[in-house]
Structures are given as structure tokens and as C-alpha cells.
Amino acid sequence: MRLATRANGRRDGALIVVSGDGTRYLPTDGTMQSALDQWHRCEQVLRALAVRLDAGQGEPLDPETLLAPLPRAWQWLDGSAFATHGELMQQAFRLPPIETDRPLMYQGMSHRFLSGHADVALPSEADGIDFEGEFAIVTDDVPMGCSADDALGHIHLILLLNDWSLRAIAPIEMKTGFGWVQAKPACSVAPFAVTPDELGDAWRDGRVCLPLSVEVNGTWFGSPLGDAMAYGFHELIAHAARTRDLPAGTIIGSGTVSNANHAEVGSTCLSERRAIEMIEHGSPQTPFLRFGDRVAMHAGDRFGRLDQQVVRG
């Protein structure tokens, strides 16, 4: 099942069910958050609408009317579950390895998520504007102490997102020992949120087993696979819920999708590309983004497409 949020003049928009080809929709009476709050009651109604769409019903869908699936969320927790990304950054910047047997995770800004077609307004090119291609999941209510095995049943939606980052600010904030604030503006999210069954065999062991493809100014940048996570999403949920419950509508990200064979499949962020160049050539060759640059991301046709221009804020 494929869901989206259509603009209606309200902050949370209107939940719609979208046809498998992404061209038609049927409306609902609620929002994405209200459906997640009552998922076990709402799912049957939503799936009935999906059956009607499969039968050819529905209204034409204008992609420009779509907001992020969750325009704002109770919680955004971003992991760093791809070991290759961390290893490359440590090698390039001569950083000691992080001595932990736990997943890496921070709590980010959740009060606003950008649509996949909105301009991305940022204050300065000097901040080191970067993108990060990620997969993410959305939960229902998760109890404190939830096990990884049980956590799989709390994953109801899967997303594709761009975690925008300001690389010149990040090291300054990291040195304080506290979390990022200025270095992490609003994320962008592809238009369609899909249920795990929509991915078929591409959803395995709590991982999205699809290539995440990135283009910068129309040129291919990378297509690494999402199944290389050291921790699956169910394990990230269990980590986050160890000492607290998670509200319905919690979004958890995979971190930058990265593969060990990056020479063949490329990368999903500029910082990783620059780190590879530092390792191989002694200095970075690829610049960060400038105003007017355009970044596009997709994972086939499953989530729709992110295609955005960076502009001066």
C-alpha cells in the first residue's frame, strides 16, 4: 500500500491512498498522524481504498500538491547504520574508531519535513551544503524495552529521505559533546510512504534491499544498496526504546546509505565522496553544493522522486 499527504491549507495536510503507478488517489477523512495513532483500526479502511484503486478508481494525482508524508512528526531519530560510511570518514580525517557495540543515533529536528519538490532554502554556501540519502521507517506506539524481534511488528511505513547537512558547522557542534542543531536543517522526504509488504522481497531482515540512486545537476552520483546496514531498523527501534517508549509517528533513519564497493556504486553524500578523494589523492576534489544546484534521489518508482534545488534562504 502506498500513502501520501496532500496539501489542503492545513499544517498536516490530508492523508490519501495512492495507486500502484502513482497516478491516481482516493481521499481519506484524516491525516497520516491520525492513521498512525489508530493504525490497527485504520489499516483495514486504507487497504479497502487501495483495492478500489487497483480496480481503476480514483482521481488524477498532481505530484506538485503533495507534502512530505509526515509534514511534522513527534520524533526524528537518525542512525548511522552503514559501517563503510563511518570507516571512510574515520580514515580520511584520521579519527579514532568509535568504541561501542551499540548503534549510533541522534535526535534531530522533527517539527518540519520538506516535500520532495520544494526548494531547499539555506543561509550560506560557506556552511558546506551537503545531502545524505537515507531510508527510514515510521512506527506506531512502541513500548519501552521492546525487543528487536517484536520491533518488526511496529514498523508500518517506509520512507526515502534526504537528510540535508551543513558540513562546516558539524565539526564545531560535535566538539561540544552535545547533539547537532545548526548543522542539521529540515530533511526532505519523497512523496510516497509505503507499507513493508509493498516492497515485497526488497524488505528483508528489517532492511530496504534496494539501490538508492542520487543525481547532482543531472549527473549520476551513486546507487549503493540499502541492505548493507550493520543494524536493521528493528534493531534501531530496540536501541531507541531501551529506556523510553516511542510515540506513533516516530521516524527512524538508516543514516547515509554506503557500500564497501563504493568505487563501483558511488555514494549518497558529498562528504563521503570527498573523504574517498582525501584517502586516494590527499585532498578533496568535489565541492559542496552552491545555490542553484539540484539534487535528485529515487529508489526505482517505489517512493516517488526527490528533485530539489538549493536556494538562498
Cβ of 282: how many Cβ atoms within 10 Å?
A: 7
Helix H or strand E segment including 309: strand 306-312
Q: What is the pLDDT of residue 298?
A: 98
Q: Domain map of the chain by residue range? A: 1-67, 70-312
Beta-ladder partners of 268: none
What's the CA gap between 13 and 201, in Å, rounded? 31
What's the CA gap between 195 and 159, in Å, rounded? 9
Angle ∠(264,267,269) on CA atoms, nearest 5: 165
In 3D space, the residue among 166, 161, 163, 174 whose CA is nearest the CA of residue 129 turns out to be 166
Q: What is the pLDDT of residue 178?
A: 86
Q: What share of the chain is helix, strand, coil (3-state, %, to 5)?
A: 25, 30, 45
- Topology at the third CATH level for domain 70-312: Fumarylacetoacetate hydrolase; domain 2 (3.90.850)
Q: What is the pLDDT of residue 99?
A: 76
Residue 179's pLDDT band (boundaries 50, 70, 90)?
Answer: confident
In tens, the pLDDT along 228-243 reads 999 999 999 999 999 9
Q: What is the pLDDT of residue 199?
A: 98
Q: What is the pLDDT of residue 133?
A: 98
Whether pLDDT at 93 is above 80: no
What's the CA gap between 248 and 136, in Å, rounded? 14
Percent of the chain exceeding pLDDT 70 equals: 100
Q: Stretch 256-268: mean pLDDT, rounded? A: 97
Q: What is the pTM of this model?
A: 0.97
In tens, the pLDDT along 129-168 reads 999 999 999 999 999 999 999 999 999 999 999 999 999 9
Q: Which three cell numbers stand for residue 222?
A: 551513486
Q: What is the pLDDT of residue 83?
A: 92
Q: What is the pLDDT of residue 95?
A: 75
* Cβ-based neighbours of 264, under 8 Å, separated by 6 or more: none
Q: What is the pLDDT of residue 175?
A: 84
Residue in the block written with cell 489542503:
8
What's the CA gap between 163 and 23, in Å, rounded? 27
Q: Average pLDDT over the chain, rounded to whole?
A: 96
State the DSSP code for 147: -
Q: Stretch 217-234: mean pLDDT, rounded? A: 98
* Sheet containing 306-312: order of strands: 120-122, 306-312, 294-298, 213-216, 219-222
Q: What is the pLDDT of residue 57?
A: 98
Q: Stretch 52-56: mean pLDDT, rounded? A: 98
